Every structure is written in C-alpha cells, then in structure tokens.
Amino acid sequence: MSYFLYDGNLEVGQSARLSGEEAQHLLHARRIKTGESFELQDQAKNHFLVVLEKASRQQLFFTVKQQLPVIEPSPLHLELIVGLPKEKALDWIIQKTTELGVTTLSIFIARYSPKSIPDARQEKIVSRWQKIAQAACKQSGRSLPPSIQLFNNLGDVLQSLSPCSVQWVLTPGAAQSLSVSSDSFTAQLSSSKNQRFVIGPEGGLHPEELALAYQHDMQPLRLGSRILKTETAAIAMVSILQFLFGDLGHGLVQKGIIVNHSDI
C-alpha cells in the first residue's frame, strides 16, 4: 500500500490531525471518506494503518489502529552514477530506480550533457529531484529515499567515492557483456554486497571520461547488442542486479540459483 507522511511520531490508539499537502492529497485526489483507512509513515520511519474519523476542507482527523511492518532495504547496496540527460529522462530515472531500490544516485554534468546547471540553481534543482524520489518512495512503500547528489563533472564524483570492489562503466563498445552463464563472472558479482556503475547521457561518455573511469578501476561493460537510451540502460541495469543479487525476485544468485541462459 502507498503511504502518506506525518510530521511527528505516532503510536497505536493515538488520535491526531493531518494538514498541509498530505491532507489535501487525501481529501481531493484520493477523495477519502470517513471510516476509510490509509497508511502513514511518521518521522521515525514507522508505518501505521489509520482510520479517518472526520475531515474539514483543510485538514483531517484520524485514529491509529495498528503498526505495520516496514519494507526492509535491499541487501544490495547499489550506486548509480549518471551523466545529466534531458530533464524528462532524468525524472524517469529518479522515479523508477527509487522504486527498484537503488541506494545512491550521483548525477554529474557530462561533456555530452544537453545543458549545464549554474551553481546558483543547483540546490533548488537537487531539492526537486529529492521530491521526485520521495514521491516514488510513498508510492512503492519504500521508507527511505536514495541519496541524491549533483556534481559538476565525473572527476568530482569519482573523487568522492569510497572503495568498491565491483564497479562498471556501461559503454556499447565494451568487449564484456553482463553474463550469468559464466560461473567466474557470477562469482565476482555475487561476492560483493556493494556494486556501482556509471552511465553516460544521450551522447554517451566522452573518451576522456571513459579513460578517467578506467583509471578508477571501473570495468567496461555492455548490456547486450542493442544501444540503449540513458533511462533504459539505468532501469535495465538496476533491475537485473536487484533480480540476481538484491530483493527483486529475492536475489536468485544469492540463493544459489544460477540462471543458465545466454549473455545479457
């Protein structure tokens, strides 16, 4: 069930009031009626089933009926680094990778990015991205949104990173394809709970950016024979890794189930 946010702490049996944007959404978009139930997440990230007792035009009053289990984060710590694409594409990436459980999202202004972002506007833009991620959390039931940061170039991102044993840069020219039919390749992937990958914008990564990634021990990797758009590659890569090693499909490789088919 999707949830709404409560600015405070809750406990079972408590009666409380909800106002602001969350109340407006419930009243006018959800059109909730007296006696109906909905889910709230409080400041402590606990989830509760509550029942609407009464409502006015600006606020609603509810009673907390029971505490609900919280969806646990994926066991796979998954870091996505993406060159700034077009706005709609990035909105899609933030929304869908949040739903899929990505841990951190680092966005950098690449050489082939369609535009730059002046320093004076960066804080406002990152705040907008965080709201998109929070909305995706509410829709999907995820309690904590991914960490989102903006960097002026790939070098700044790479300098900020902590060590990671499994990290790739996605490029169509790579000789190696993501494979689950290779025991050695699967063993390498499944040995780490922390994985990281870089994706370029629509124009791809500049040769100097690729060289920089290689200098930071990133391995070149391709996703099959087709060239994917930035948003497609990001969603595909997160989905595959979560399916094999995370909580999408309950991590088949982590459970010892090796998928025996051709390279991805």
Fold assignment, 77-245 = Alpha/beta knot (3.40.1280)
CA distance 263 to 61: 55
pLDDT of residue 214: 95
User: Long-range pairs for 224-228 at CB < 8 Å and ≥24 separation?
Assistant: 224/177, 224/263, 224/264, 227/172
- The residue whose two tokens read 């069930």 is 1
The rounded mean pLDDT for the chain is 89
CA distance 140 to 136: 6
The partner residues of 5 in beta bridges, in order of sequence, read 41
pLDDT of residue 191: 59
175: pLDDT strictly greater than 50: yes
**How do 147-151 and 166-170 pair as beta strands?**
unpaired
For residues 111 and 152, is the Cβ–Cβ distance under 8 A?
A: no
* The pair of three-digit structure tokens given for residue 15, joined into one six-digit string: 């009666």
- Domain 3-68 top-level CATH class: mainly beta
pLDDT digits (tens, 9 = 90+) for 129-173: 999 999 999 999 999 999 999 999 999 999 999 988 889 999 988
Q: Which residue ranges make up each domain of the chain?
A: 3-68, 77-245
Q: Measured on CA atoms in the order 248, 85, 82, 1, is the torsion positive or negative?
A: negative
CA distance 169 to 214: 8
User: Long-range pairs for 239-243 at CB < 8 Å and ≥24 separation?
Assistant: 239/100, 240/178, 240/264, 241/76, 241/78, 241/189, 241/195, 242/74, 242/76, 242/78, 242/100, 242/101
pLDDT band at 222 (very low <50, low <70, confident <90, very high): confident
Q: Report the Cα 89 to chain-centroid distance in Å.
A: 14
- The residue whose two tokens read 């929070």 is 134
**E strand or H helix that includes residue 8:** none
